Amino acid sequence: MEKCKGLEGNAKDVCKAEADGQRKVAKAEAKLKDKDTEENRRDVEKAKVDAEYDLAREKCEDQKGDAAKACKKEANAKRDMALASAKKPNQRAKSQ
């Protein structure tokens, strides 16, 4: 968050979203390192997906009108696909 201080407007919001996402991922990864369980592995994946989604949505704020709507729709679709994939890690591991 320290690096975001000199920024203004949406650039500051994007910076904060990125910092917050990194913090949440780091927290989930620390929990996984402490106790490696399927639930904690899913939590790490979800934290990563949420961080990417929040950052993408914030970046969409720089756009206007139809471009902003399309950007948000794409962010939603990517999040939904990633969450669906994260919910099925055993199937992914079996297919490899």
Which pLDDT belongs to residue 92?
A: 44
Query: Is the separation of the CB atoms in 21 and 54 below 8 Å?
Result: yes
Per-residue pLDDT at 31 exceeds 50:
yes
Per-residue pLDDT at 90 exceeds 60:
no
Instruction: Please tell me the pTM assigned to this model.
Output: 0.80
Evaluate whether residue 95 is within a structural domain. no
Domain membership of residue 45 as a residue range: 9-88
Evaluate whether residue 3 is within a structural domain. no
Evaluate whether residue 42 is within a structural domain. yes
pLDDT band at 22 (very low <50, low <70, confident <90, very high): very high
Evaluate whether residue 2 is within a structural domain. no
Query: Is the separation of the CB atoms in 48 and 60 below 8 Å?
Result: no
Evaluate whether residue 94 is within a structural domain. no
Evaluate whether residue 96 is within a structural domain. no
Per-residue pLDDT at 29 exceeds 50:
yes
Report the domain count for the chain: 1
Mean pLDDT of 23-33: 96
pLDDT band at 32 (very low <50, low <70, confident <90, very high): very high
